[in-house]
């Protein structure tokens, strides 16, 4: 009898559940219509440069080509602005290598500028919080620029002004290997400078003077603490997650998150699977091997495409290991718990390894908002997470730059 009663109730329960889901979706829609949403790490320039026929103004399909960002999907998802990354894997640290890095960086800046110019009705290059809001008011997407790996700065700090004038507003000091500015968390050789180098120290001073945010993602723990001591402006981690929830070196410890927050900084949660959820030994080895192959200097775009497809397939081979939107919000919850709502943001690392069930590409970001609503976050909180906290750091860097330039 009881079973029969439950069976009869089931359609009602399902209906109530789906009504609740619809209400949440409506609420998320409303929030995205009003909020200014910013993601601090987008690797779409890789596709712009390496994928033949990739056009950021045309809608692509994640299931067909694995790409996660383009302007139409940003609009569809309610993503107002993203930091496009001038990224390169670390190469030879010689004068010739540095010159090559600079040329490559300039090529990526050009590709970003060209893409924005091609779609003047859709997108605009923006460099300040204010410019971002003005573009948003006009109904346009904002394209900010960040640099992942300070290698193209070389030994000539005047390059910083050159890149700043091209729109650059943050630099991740190092990528997966040590460079001349800083130690990396990923270098198999371990520490080389004991943190930030002497050159890195001068670089940070010049970044502060110009108003370029120091990004602490990827660098070693010692380098992070050096940045905390050296930077006169608040900093952020453009794409890092919590080490307390996934114990990998690329993530930040509670102590680091709290210290960065106490100085006004923000950790933007990364959506790369193993940073969200520590994989089993077996999967970790597969990930590491594939990533190392992708980072090889002679890896062709075709090779990288194949490797990325294999990385994506891992979650189907090991379904229990794939993180979901819930895992992402666990990391947000954790930062809020230890450092407060003003110090967490989002830097999904899409087109650079982002891999979350339920948020496969930028058109699906509302699922994150829905999960935040489910856990009781208010619209005010969600607006902070989705953009206001990041914009505050950007504005603070501008303010510090102004002060440093007016001091006698
Ligand atoms: Zn990265």
Q: What is the pLDDT of residues 110-142, one digit of tens each?
A: 999 999 999 999 999 999 999 999 999 999 999
Nearest to 236 by CA among 252, 254, 209, 213: 213
Integer Cα distance of 84 and 195 in angstroms: 27
Nearest to 264 by CA among 364, 390, 393: 393
Residue 215 domain flag: yes
Q: Do 211 and 85 share a structural domain?
A: yes
- 175 CA distance to ligand 1 middle (Å): 7
Residue 293 domain flag: yes
- 147 CA distance to ligand 1 middle (Å): 10
- 2 CA distance to ligand 1 middle (Å): 54
- 84 CA distance to ligand 1 middle (Å): 12
Residue 28 domain flag: no
- 125 CA distance to ligand 1 middle (Å): 22
| Residue 259 confidence (pLDDT) | 98
Q: Do 282 and 334 share a structural domain?
A: no
Nearest to 238 by CA among 66, 102, 394: 394
Q: Which of 292, 322, 352 is the last residue of a domain?
A: 322
Q: Do 79 and 162 share a structural domain?
A: yes
| Residue 5 confidence (pLDDT) | 67
- 239 CA distance to ligand 1 middle (Å): 7
- 158 CA distance to ligand 1 middle (Å): 25
- 73 CA distance to ligand 1 middle (Å): 22
- 13 CA distance to ligand 1 middle (Å): 43
Q: Which of 322, 348, 382 is the last residue of a domain?
A: 322
DSSP letter at 364 equals G
Question: Helix (H, G, I), strand (E, B), or coil: what is residue 152?
Answer: helix
**Given the DSSP bridges, would you call strands 236-237 and 266-269 parallel, antiparallel or unpaired?**
parallel
| Residue 6 confidence (pLDDT) | 64
- Listed in sequence order, the residues at least 6 apart from 77 whose beta carbon sits closer than 8 Å to its beta carbon are 32, 361, 362, 363, 364, 365, 366
- 236 CA distance to ligand 1 middle (Å): 13
Q: Do 399 and 256 share a structural domain?
A: yes
Residue 4 domain flag: no
- 388 CA distance to ligand 1 middle (Å): 22
Q: Do 298 and 187 share a structural domain?
A: no
- 32 CA distance to ligand 1 middle (Å): 26
Q: Do 329 and 265 share a structural domain?
A: yes
Instruction: Find the DSSP H helices in 119-220.
Output: 129-137, 158-165, 198-210
- 407 CA distance to ligand 1 middle (Å): 35
Integer Cα distance of 112 and 85 in angstroms: 9
Residue 384 domain flag: yes
- 12 CA distance to ligand 1 middle (Å): 46
Q: What phi and psi values does residue 365 have, to the nearest 5 degrees?
A: -65, -20
DSSP letter at 212 equals P
Q: Do 329 and 316 share a structural domain?
A: no
- 6 CA distance to ligand 1 middle (Å): 50
- 288 CA distance to ligand 1 middle (Å): 14
**CB-based contact 366:60 (threshold 8 Å):** no
| Residue 1 confidence (pLDDT) | 60
Q: What phi and psi values does residue 256 have, to the nearest 5 degrees?
A: -65, -45
- 215 CA distance to ligand 1 middle (Å): 11
Q: Do 341 and 295 share a structural domain?
A: no
**CB-based contact 120:111 (threshold 8 Å):** no
Please give the tally of structural domains in the chain.
2
- 322 CA distance to ligand 1 middle (Å): 19
Residue 2 domain flag: no
Q: Do 299 and 245 share a structural domain?
A: no
- 11 CA distance to ligand 1 middle (Å): 46
Domain with 222, as residue range(s), is 36-274+324-406
Nearest to 365 by CA among 86, 80, 43, 60: 80
| Residue 303 confidence (pLDDT) | 86
Q: Do 135 and 91 share a structural domain?
A: yes
- 97 CA distance to ligand 1 middle (Å): 21
Q: Do 65 and 53 share a structural domain?
A: yes
Q: Do 203 and 140 share a structural domain?
A: yes
- 109 CA distance to ligand 1 middle (Å): 18
Residues of the chain with pLDDT under 50: none
Residue 14 domain flag: no
| Residue 292 confidence (pLDDT) | 85
User: Which domain CATH number covers 40?
Assistant: 3.20.20.140
Token pair 């619209």 is at which residue? Answer: 379
- 179 CA distance to ligand 1 middle (Å): 15
Integer Cα distance of 362 and 348 in angstroms: 9
Integer Cα distance of 152 and 173 in angstroms: 10
Residue 230 domain flag: yes
| Residue 247 confidence (pLDDT) | 93
- 349 CA distance to ligand 1 middle (Å): 7
- Listed in sequence order, the residues at least 6 apart from 280 whose beta carbon sits closer than 8 Å to its beta carbon are 318, 321
- 217 CA distance to ligand 1 middle (Å): 7
Q: Which of 322, 356, 383 is the last residue of a domain?
A: 322
- 87 CA distance to ligand 1 middle (Å): 8
């Amino acid at each position: 009898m009881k079973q029969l009663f439950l069976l009869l109730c089931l359609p009602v329960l399902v209906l109530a559940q789906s009504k609740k889901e619809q209400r949440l979706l409506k609420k998320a829609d409303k929030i995205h219509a009003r909020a200014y949403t910013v993601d601090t790490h987008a690797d779409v320039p890789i596709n712009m440069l390496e994928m033949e026929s990739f056009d950021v103004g045309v809608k692509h399909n994640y299931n067909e080509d694995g790409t996660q960002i383009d302007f139409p999907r940003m609009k569809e998802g309610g993503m107002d602005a993203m930091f496009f990354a001038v990224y390169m894997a670390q190469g030879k640290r010689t004068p010739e290598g540095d010159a090559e890095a600079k040329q490559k960086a300039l090529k990526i800046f050009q590709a970003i500028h060209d893409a924005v110019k091609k779609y003047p009705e859709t997108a605009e290059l923006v460099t300040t919080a204010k410019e971002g809001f003005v573009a948003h008011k006009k109904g346009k997407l904002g394209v900010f620029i960040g640099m992942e790996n300070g290698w193209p700065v070389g030994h000539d700090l005047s390059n910083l002004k050159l890149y700043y004038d091209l729109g650059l507003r943050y630099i991740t000091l190092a990528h997966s290997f040590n460079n001349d500015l800083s130690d990396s968390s990923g270098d198999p050789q371990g520490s080389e400078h004991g943190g930030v180098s002497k050159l890195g120290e001068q670089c940070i001073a010049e970044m502060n003077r110009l108003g370029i945010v120091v990004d602490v993602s990827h660098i070693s723990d010692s380098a992070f603490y050096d940045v905390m001591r050296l930077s006169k402006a608040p900093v952020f981690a453009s794409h890092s997650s919590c080490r307390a929830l996934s114990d990998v070196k690329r993530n930040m410890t509670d102590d680091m998150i709290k210290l960065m927050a106490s100085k006004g900084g923000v950790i933007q949660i990364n959506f790369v699977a193993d940073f969200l959820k520590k994989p089993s030994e077996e999967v970790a080895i597969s990930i590491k091997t594939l990533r190392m192959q992708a980072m090889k200097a002679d890896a062709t775009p075709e090779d990288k495409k194949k490797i990325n497809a294999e990385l994506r397939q891992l979650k189907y081979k090991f379904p229990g290991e794939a993180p979901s939107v819930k895992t992402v919000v666990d990391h947000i919850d954790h930062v809020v718990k230890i450092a407060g709502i003003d110090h967490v943001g989002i830097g999904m690392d899409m087109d650079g390894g982002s891999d979350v069930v339920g948020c496969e590409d930028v058109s699906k970001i509302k699922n994150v908002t829905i999960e935040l609503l489910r856990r009781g976050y208010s619209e005010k909180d969600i607006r902070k997470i989705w953009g206001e906290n990041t914009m505050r750091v950007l504005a603070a860097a501008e303010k510090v730059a102004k002060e440093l330039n007016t001091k006698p």
